[in-house]
């Protein structure tokens, strides 16, 4: 039995570093094993990173700009009976269960409304931009 003591072999990799290494794989004439050897990373780990990138789980966390269209506020009629919460102005009330939306209200009062089917990566990018 062999007992290994000392520095742990696992290294923490930032998403930017992983993406930079993966970008090298797209250059013409570059061999997968050479990139792995150059960065002292196993080929299996590179395949995991590549898979995560293709599935949208490995993305750069740098905030960016998204196209935005500002529309005038819509007038929302008061609900019958005058009780209950008032729907948010700017979006029609959700009437069809198939058109479910998620509303996120940030501490500064900013509200984000997205379709319930939004991917985690896309939502992460939107929230990163709003926090910046």
Tens digits of residue pLDDT in 63-121: 666 666 666 665 555 556 555 555 554 455 444 445 688 887 776 777 888 888 888 88
Alpha-helical runs (H) found in the chain: 15-24, 32-38, 43-54, 120-131
pLDDT at 49 over 90: yes
Residue 116 contacts residue 102 (beta carbons within 8 Å):
yes
d(C-alpha 17, C-alpha 106), whole Å: 30
Average pLDDT over residues 55-60: 83
pLDDT at 39 over 70: yes
For the chain, the domains span 15-54, 80-131
């Amino acid at each position: 039995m062999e007992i290994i003591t000392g520095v742990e072999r696992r290294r923490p990799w930032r998403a930017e570093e992983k993406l930079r290494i993966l970008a090298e794989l797209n250059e013409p004439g570059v061999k997968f094993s050479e990139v792995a050897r150059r960065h002292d990373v196993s080929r299996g780990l590179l395949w995991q990173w590549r898979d995560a990138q293709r599935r949208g789980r490995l993305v750069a966390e740098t905030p960016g700009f998204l196209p935005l269209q500002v529309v005038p506020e819509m007038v929302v009629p008061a609900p019958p009976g005058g009780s209950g919460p008032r729907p948010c102005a700017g979006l029609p009330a959700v009437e069809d269960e198939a058109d479910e939306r998620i509303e996120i209200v940030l501490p500064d009062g900013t509200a984000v409304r997205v379709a319930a089917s939004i991917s985690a990566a896309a939502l992460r990018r939107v929230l990163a931009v709003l926090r910046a």
